[in-house]
Amino acid sequence: MKRFLILAGVTFLLGNCSLRRCVADKAFVEEYRQHLEIILKQEKGDSTDVDEYFGAMKYFYKITGSFLRAKYDNGLGYRDKSVYKEDVKRLKLWLEKNKCTFTKEMADSINRIPWGPNLLSPKNGNQSGN
């Protein structure tokens, strides 16, 4: 009987640990989505400030470790819609994978670094060649 109670207790504890739900930092998720909206807005043809657009690109590079393949030198935006769709898909996937472990404080700390990717994130989404 004692063994049964111990086994039941351990099973209950292990089951509860695996049932923990994701608790995303809402401030981080909102900030990330605001930067994504800047990219989306430009591709929809809405007017976007160059500094704001470049800032969003820099934000994603620092946070995810991946460069966006958009252009900002001779007009803003993507020259190829398939590249745009791939980048947006990658950004959304990164958020989905990292929203439960990343916080606004972490993002703010990374953004204080003058340049450079987030090398602290094991799921940084960095792909070779990007």
| pLDDT score for 128 | 37
List helix spans (H) across 19-80.
Answer: 26-43, 50-64
Backbone angles phi, psi at 102, to 5 degrees: -105, 140
pLDDT reading at 6 higher than 70: no
| pLDDT score for 13 | 54
| pLDDT score for 101 | 92
pTM value is 0.71
pLDDT in tens, 36-80: 999 999 888 888 888 899 899 999 999 998 889 988 677 788 989
CB burial class (10 A; 0-12, 13-18, 19+) of residue 58?
Answer: middle
